[in-house]
Amino acid sequence: MTIREFKMPDVGEGLTEAEILKWYVQPGDTVTDGQVVCEVETAKAAVELPIPFDGVVHALLFEEGTTVDVGQVIISVQTGEAEAPAPAAAAAAAPAAAEPAPAARQPVLVGYGVSESSTKRRPRKAAPAPAVAAQNGTAAPVAAPEAPAAPAPLPAVPAQPTGERPLAKPPVRKLAKDLGIDLASVVPTGDGGVVTREDVHAAAAAAIAPQAAAPVAAPAAAPAAVAAPVAVVAAPAADASARETRIPVKGVRKVTAQAMVGSAFTAPHVTEFITFDVTRTMKLVQELKADPDLAGLRINPLLLIAKAVLVAIRRNPDVNASWDEAAQEIVLKHYVNLGIAAATPRGLIVPNIKDAHAKTLGELSESLSSLVVTARDGKTSPADMQNGTITLTNVGVFGVDTGTPILNPGESAILAVGAIKLQPWVHKGKVKPRHVTTLALSFDHRLIDGELGSKFLADIAAVLEHPRRLVTWS
């Protein structure tokens, strides 16, 4: 029997720490390879961590709510494997000219690749690990955290034949599903062409690598100026006479704040507004709700606004672009990944609907519903928050008329949707109560000039004022 330690995995993309939100196991519990043992929150999202071996939990070395640096041991497990020789003894017994041993398998945080970091961090004010271990029934000292080792290079293996079901164990299939990796596209390195956990992590790292070189800050950041308010982190108990309370900013809120500062001082923002009559769109919403072909789908004004944005992008394709700072080029996008700003208990995030331009109204409705539910449950994956092109933020649900939204870093524009209210409006020469709203469009003036931005916003309003254009302009 031996004690194996599981360290906080390398989260990659410049992130060097994570907060333990919840433990799913306790000392004495049996765990198996691939079993989720805890949930952690990084600056990107909340993620579940699977343990990479079998055994019985020996100790939990950090309590819930503790922020842990990458490389620190967070849980120890008693396994049935033969105990490996101590590093010092092994080094003394090894010949002087011996080749260095290949890097050991390094556990990786779900959704991120492995990367080495040279970042030096200041000592964290936290309870010492031995004290926490004692609370779990053991006083075993915890070794100092080691820098995570880089994974050994994978040998080249021919891809699996097209049409055959990839060979992989159930935990590996679950891991691939959680990471959004298609097993058929993974190069297997296991015996007999079996896909291993390392193969899946390598594929995930390869998919994320191009994003790490992006010139803008974290794509998970979201508009702050007019975005929906989010739940405030519970403040520590304070004396009734206290005049101030300090709340630590970390995780999603921390990266959102950093990205908003970067966006505000990097992209030259321009905001335009338009107020118009959406009575016909509101009538169409009611008709679509009664349509048997759309039974079971969530039909609301935001769905038709999203569709109107997609129609306006088709008429003004140059608005769908990004700025390449390194190359000093405008990159036109021939796809639309439509971001939806979502308020969650942990902060504001902007997942996006991939290839929204190619979806039918029903498919768009399903994607919107799934996106919102996943975000509120804290299960949005990092992949779902990458590569957005244009974002919608609906502040109208809170009774707000409009605002000046800040661009989601790396995107060309963001549309704030204001409250839809009955107001006196001149219609056919007479003042009547009509449903009226205001849209605010902020855009990057390096990519979109005043004429293009104005045409784009006017087209969105035109579609919503006369929704038959959803057909005639498509």
- Give the C-alpha separation, 162 to 35, whole Å: 30
**Cα angle: 186, vertex 189, 190; to 5 degrees:** 115
445 is catalytic: yes
Three-state DSSP class for residue 46: strand
- Give the C-alpha separation, 347 to 344, whole Å: 5
Residue 168: phi, psi to the nearest 5? -165, 150
- Give the C-alpha separation, 250 to 272, whole Å: 33
Q: How are the residues of the chain apportioned to helix, strand and coil, as percentages rounded to the nearest 5?
A: 30, 25, 50
Q: Choose the catalytic residue: 269, 334, 445, 466.
A: 445
Three-state DSSP class for residue 357: helix
**Cα angle: 115, vertex 119, 121; to 5 degrees:** 130
CA-based torsion, 357, 361, 366, 368: positive or negative:
positive
Work out the burial of residue 77: count CB atoms within 10 Å of its CB; fewer than 13 is exposed, 13-18 middle, 19 or more buried.
buried
- Strands annotated E in 315-420: 321-324, 329-332, 338-340, 342-344, 347-349, 352-353, 390-394, 413-417
- Give the C-alpha separation, 250 to 373, whole Å: 23
343: which residues sit within 8 A by CB, 6+ positions away?
227, 228, 229, 230, 231
Instruction: List residues bridging with 433 in a β-sheet.
Output: 424
Residues with catalytic function: 445
